[in-house]
């Protein structure tokens, strides 16, 4: 990507990170303690930090191809997964939807046996569920709610 476009894109991400922090502070409450505003504030802060690192880095990357079809397939796959989660999680709940998403991906791309991939994906989904519901106190969708 040409240098000027990369800096403009990084500046847009930096502004979006600032917007995330401000919006979550005003609409979701104080982000100094765990709750709904904590995670968007962390993501916004990370976006600002990494955007500034990208803006101030001096690497010249002029011969990089824009996009290949191989990369577009993965982008479309991620968009499809996100849309599936948005529409299915209210009916299936977080745990079942997370298993439907992560287990096939782990079984396809991991180099271990499929049963180990399923156990790992179930552990990760249950761990994320516990982290958000018990530690961060963010309610996640339940089965058939």
Least confident of 4-18, 66-80, 119-133: 66-80
For residue 49, what pLDDT is reported? 93
Looking at the structure, do residues 41 and 79 belong to the same domain, yes or no? Answer: no
Looking at the structure, do residues 43 and 79 belong to the same domain, yes or no? Answer: no
d(CA 39, CA 30): 12
Looking at the structure, do residues 126 and 101 belong to the same domain, yes or no? Answer: yes
Q: Which residue, 27, 48, 63, sits at the end of a domain? A: 63
Average pLDDT of the chain is 81
Structural domain of residue 75, as residue ranges? 67-145
Does the predicted model carry a pTM greater than 0.95? no
């Amino acid at each position: 990507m040409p240098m000027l476009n990369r800096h403009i894109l990084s500046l847009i991400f930096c502004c979006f990170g600032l917007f995330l922090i401000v919006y979550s502070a005003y609409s979701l409450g104080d982000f100094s303690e765990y709750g709904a505003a904590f995670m968007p504030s962390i993501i916004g802060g990370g976006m600002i930090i990494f955007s500034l690192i990208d803006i101030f880095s001096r690497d010249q990357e002029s011969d990089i191809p824009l996009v290949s079809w191989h990369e577009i397939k993965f982008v479309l796959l991620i968009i499809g997964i996100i849309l599936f989660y948005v529409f299915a999680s209210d009916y299936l709940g977080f745990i079942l939807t997370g298993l439907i998403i992560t287990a096939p991906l782990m079984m396809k791309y991991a180099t271990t046996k499929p049963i180990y991939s399923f156990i790992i994906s179930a552990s990760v989904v249950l761990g994320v569920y516990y982290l958000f519901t018990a530690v961060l106190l963010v309610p996640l969708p339940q089965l058939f709610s």
